[in-house]
Amino acid sequence: MAFPRRYPPDLIDAVVQRVADARTVKAYGAVTTVARQLNLDPRLVQKWVTKATAPPQPDRPAANSWETYLPAGLLHCTFCHQPMTHAELQDSRQGYQCQASCRPRPLDAAAIADTIGRAILRHTPRIIPATSTPTPPHLAATHAHRVLARITIGTTSADIRLTWRAAPLTGPGVDTKRAQAVASARHLALDDPLRALRLLHDSLTGTDPATAPAHPLFADAAALLAELQLRLGYPSDAIAWATYAHRSTVQLHSPTHSRSLQALRLHAVAHRRAGHHQRAYHLYRQLGEHLVTTNGPHAQRTLATHAATALVLHDLGHCQAARTLLADTITTHRRHHPDHPATARMTQHLTRIWNDCATKGHHHQDT
């Protein structure tokens, strides 16, 4: 497939940086993964990366660059109501034009992409794959088709009206493709997490986790996306999707359903990883209460949740309460699950809490 367009230097730099970020997670396949994320030719991305890492060459005259960022078919003219297509400006920069009789000259494509990208970053930043560096507006604009149904351009590049998707696209064909994407992402989650992230983002196109209605497919995709984001070190991004997955599964099933309990645990883990210890404590308490009802007070999952609750108590600074709860949990776990490896792990955590108290010079009543 031919890719005849040229791209501006700032866009190329952002893509090269994204490849570098991807390589910190996985050494191989970063170029292909980023190319798929941004709908670019992998050969072109590899060429940019190679050029960026090659020794500097003598200065040459800069070639004309094509500043086309947005997916085709989104832009429409407010006057003639026709789709706007790529056109060249007088200074060799690129723009967007509708019918020749409608506008005297094309509008600057870079300015349009910057405005749209800033709106996406402000209102729906969760659709952008997480990276260690801030996403430039023009790179965010390449995801416009995921949350925007239509972009209407007025007299100037700043005169823009955005029509947001009211709800995710659904239907037999769409749901089948989404389900296939989620299944593929689950298969790739261990070996290629970045590609799995891309598939999950695509499957959740148009889905705002803060307002989207409960949907079994979206809940499944959101839970898997949150798990991957936690594994890759983005707990703040994972909170929104874990919250949606938990809320959806409760509405679709019940608070004590196995899927709801699994989503609740993921929700608690995301808040704890993000440092929201008070919220994590309440979620772990809620999970423990449900597990006592469904699995029993001496079940392994119930006791593991009690142990996690104790660790969150320690994170909150309640050392004595954490030690008491964890010691009681260890005693019960050893009695009902002898030789289970979790007992040793709980004991290690208890020792760590004791050592932390000793290091900080705490004097508790039970000492």
**Interval 334-355: pLDDT, tens:** 999 998 999 999 999 999 999 9
Query: Alpha-carbon distance 137 to 270, whole Å?
Result: 27
Give me the mean pLDDT over the 280-295 stretch: 95
pLDDT digits (tens, 9 = 90+) for 156-213: 888 898 887 755 555 555 567 778 888 888 898 888 888 888 888 878 877 778 878 8
H or E element that contains 1 = none
pLDDT confidence bin for 366, thresholds 50/70/90: low
Amino acid at 19: V
Kind of pairing, strands 75-77 and 148-153?
A: parallel
What's the pLDDT score for residue 364? Answer: 63
May I ask the CATH class of domain 276-361?
Answer: mainly alpha
> In angstroms, what is the C-alpha Rg of the chain?
26
The pLDDT of residue 1 is: 37
Q: Which fold has domain 169-275?
A: 1.25.40
Spatial distance between the Cα atoms of 367 and 365, rounded to a whole number of angstroms: 5
Q: How sure is the predictor about 261, in pLDDT bands with cuts at 50, 70 and 90? A: very high
Q: Which region, left, alpha or beta, applies to residue 339 given φ > 0 means left and ψ of -120 to 50 means alpha?
A: left
Q: Please indicate whether residue 155 or residue 361 has the higher confidence score (pLDDT).
A: 155
CATH number for the region 1-52 comes to: 1.10.10.10
Q: How many CA atoms lie within 13 A of 301 on its CB side?
A: 14
Whether pLDDT at 149 is above 70:
yes
pLDDT of residue 274: 93
Q: In this predicted structure, what is the pLDDT of residue 65?
A: 40
DSSP state of 127: G
pLDDT of 144 reads 82
Residue 27 has pLDDT above 80, yes or no: no
Q: Computed from CA positions of residues 35, 39, 43, 44, in that sequence, does the dihedral angle turn out positive or negative?
A: negative
Element (H, E) at 148: strand 148-153
Tell me the domain boundaries of the chain.
Answer: 1-52, 64-130+137-166, 169-275, 276-361
Percent of the chain whose pLDDT exceeds 70: 85
pLDDT at 255: 92
Two domains, one topology: 1-52 and 169-275 = no
Single out the residue of 309, 301, 340, 344 nearest to residue 326, CA to CA.
309
> How does residue 247 score in pLDDT terms, banded at 50, 70 and 90?
very high
In angstroms, the CA 6 to CA 106 distance is 18
User: With bands split at pLDDT 50, 70 and 90, how would you rate the model's confidence at 316?
Assistant: very high
